[in-house]
A and B are shown apart, each in its own frame.
Chain A
């Protein structure tokens, strides 16, 4: 119902699209009244036409960054460039950006058509052209039959599309989106996510997208900027974020289910944790290290006993989550849970489908993804193997990745 059947037609005829603009943030900081630093020294260079996602737990400053780009929030320090222009002190109405809000912010007393045309009207575009552009965009988004309705008479998904349409009609140099999917139900969210990607491919407008949902970030962003406490943690492609997190926070935040952590010691080319010991590959850069670390293992790095000559160790399953093709096996290790600010912040930010993490557990609990055909019973001994090349090591104090 909400998915337009036909592939989106090309852009409206007769309105040559302007080249997309890059965005550059140069040491941007935001200090709120009362001395809270929401954003600190943020450097971010977004290529023209790029789709980037700002992600992080609530209060990390991601929305503030977006609002500063829009001009809705004053910049305390640093500069912002849209294309070549320094817009740091420009009022929002004078920046050529369009924004999609979490609540969609549709004008309640205007019809869909007027909502979509409002930005054009404010910019002095004539009625004929307004109507034409609105009609074209409405067609693309399947809103034709809703143009005379008021927002109150629309469903959530329709409102979301109107909000998108209102931004698209403007043909701005930059799209800004502030959690535009968070008010949709789970199913619709996946559909619209795909549409967003298609839309961006077609329009090629530089897009900055804010979300707290790491899955959304990974699926949508060409590059993803992870923020925490107003500081940029890592700005990279989703793949790079997953494969090479720069610190404990990014590692804990990205990936589902989340990475497992346990305190460990590196010595003599082996890593020891909770009474187990695993040999590192000989070519590991840390083979010669001798130091305490935090060991991180993704659930997907586990296998049944005897997988590819991986090191093995025995555990006792506490919970088994059946998923059909595979299952998640949760087991406790005889070591305290890793509980740093970074892991806690990352856990807080994760969405509810990661509730497996049971953070109040005193001992370290691991999740392993194992094939479904393996015979496992709760309480019985189970031997698992782990891919020694997919072990992550972090400094226990700074949380920085060691390599």
Chain B
């Protein structure tokens, strides 16, 4: 890995540089405002006193900051929030663990046709889930897995496998083959090579895979609405139910939406660079 050279530093600049730089930052700032706009509306509405909220005064700064809106919607969202936590964490952990095993085998313990198997696995990442809904629905119903969280977890784990496999495969591919060979010559079989050599160096990949899986499981709606009963609804379904289908007060809709995306936003803020790496993995690039 070559360290990125300090870009632009010490470079001789063209006489136009001050102007282009100013223009660049003006453009960047304007675009930033556009990107923030929806969140601004979301925040100020959620933080207004319920009495002060009005759709037509959406853009006005609140006279007085208040958490009342959250107090109103939290009881309605609490169960969904809990369900999503109880679903997304195990789903992402299991999916990552299996993905680590797959990625290890497909990059470092290859068998004939490993690339073909990988391509087949990868395709699962891109399928439109509509094309599996009916059979999934029937299967999960018939096996009694529909309704609760275990079925939803299972589905998230399975459909998460392609991306976690991809992340770990790319990651392990970047690890020297000699490391694995050293372990083999040292007398370790596959499982022990995986456990003692590959897994200990995989935390960065785990971070990427876990974050990615957590985010997509948390944000999923389709599987949640199809596979759970009301008491087990994940947050997105609960959110759509209270803020989506019926006319709810504008402030409650916004406060609910904000609550529902807090965990993923928190993950994004705290572990942003891993989040980004997960995104890159989605483009089939290591």
Contact = CB atoms under 8 A, between A and B. Distances in A.
Contacts of A118: 183, 186, 188, 196
A102 B176 CA distance: 11
B230 interface: no
B189 A93 contact: yes
Contacts of A170: 186
Give the bracket for the number of chain A residues in contact with chain B: 20 to 34
Nearest to B112: A33
A67 B183 CA distance: 14
Nearest to A94: B187
Interface stretch (A20-28, A106-114, A290-298): A106-114
Contact of A107 (B184, B189, B197): B197
A331 B281 CA distance: 58
B interface majority secondary structure: helix
A103 interface: yes
A106 B188 CA distance: 14
Given A99-B181, A122-B186, 14 more contacts: A93-B187, A94-B187, A101-B182, A102-B178, A105-B179, A105-B181, A105-B182, A109-B201, A118-B183, A118-B186, A119-B186, A122-B183, A122-B192, A166-B182
Contacts of B184: 71-72, 91-93
18 contacts: A70-B181, A71-B184, A72-B181, A91-B189, A93-B185, A93-B188, A95-B185, A103-B176, A105-B176, A105-B179, A106-B182, A107-B200, A107-B201, A108-B200, A108-B201, A122-B192, A123-B187, A178-B178
Interface in B182-209: 182-189, 192, 196-197, 200-201
Interface of A: 67, 70-72, 91-95, 97-99, 101-103, 105-110, 118-119, 122-123, 166, 170, 176, 178
A118 to B, nearest CB: 5
Interface of B: 176, 178-179, 181-189, 192, 196-197, 200-201
A137 B188 CA distance: 21
A376 B69 CA distance: 97
Contacts of B201: 107-109
B178 A105 contact: yes
In the A-B complex, the 10 residue pairs with the smallest Cβ-Cβ separation, listed nearest first, are: A119-B186, A122-B187, A109-B200, A105-B182, A105-B178, A101-B178, A92-B184, A99-B185, A93-B187, A105-B179
Of the listed residues A70, A72, A166, the one surrounded by the most CB atoms of chain B closer than 10 A to its CB is A72
A225 to B, nearest CB: 21
Contacts of B178: 101-103, 105, 178
A266 to B, nearest CB: 50
A101 B181 contact: yes
A97 B183 contact: no
A71 B185 CA distance: 8
B200 A70 contact: no
Nearest to A119: B186
